[in-house]
Chain A
Amino acid sequence: MLTYTIRRLVLAIPTLLFISFIIFLIVKLSPSDPTAGLPLTIPPEVREQIRESLGVNDPVLLQYFKWLRLMVWDEPLHLLENWTGWNVAPDGPRIISYQTRSPVMDLIVQRMPQTLWVVGTSYIVGILIALPIGIISAYRQYSVFDQIGTFVSMLGFSVPTFFTGVLFIVIFAVNLGWFPSVYDTTHEVTDWDSFIVQLKQIIMPVMVLGLYNASQISRFMRASMLDNLNQDYVRTARAKGLSERAVVLVHVLRNSMIPVVTVIALNVPAVFGGAIITEQVFKVNGIGQLLIIAIQGGDVPVVQTVSVIFAVLIVLFNLIADVLYGILDPRIRYD
Chain B
Amino acid sequence: MFAYTIRRLSMLVPVLLGMTLIVFSLIHAIPGSPAQILLGQQASPEAVAALTKEMGLDRPLYIQFVDYLKNLITGDLGESFRTRSPISEEIWPYLAATIELALFAMIIAVIVGVNAGIISAWFQNSWFDYLLMVLALVGVSMPIFWLGLMEQYVFSIKLDLLPTTGRDNIRDPVTAITHLYLLDTLLQGRVDQFFEVIRHLILPGVALATIPMAIIARITRSSMLEVMRSDYIRTARAKGMSMLKVVYKHSLRNAFIPILTIIGLQTGLLLGGAILTETIFGWPGIGNYIYSAIQFRDYPVIQSGILVVAAIFVCINLIVDLLYAAIDPRIKYR
Q: Does A pair with B? A: no
Q: Which residues of A contact B (CB under 8 A)?
A: none
Q: Which residues of B contact A (CB under 8 A)?
A: none
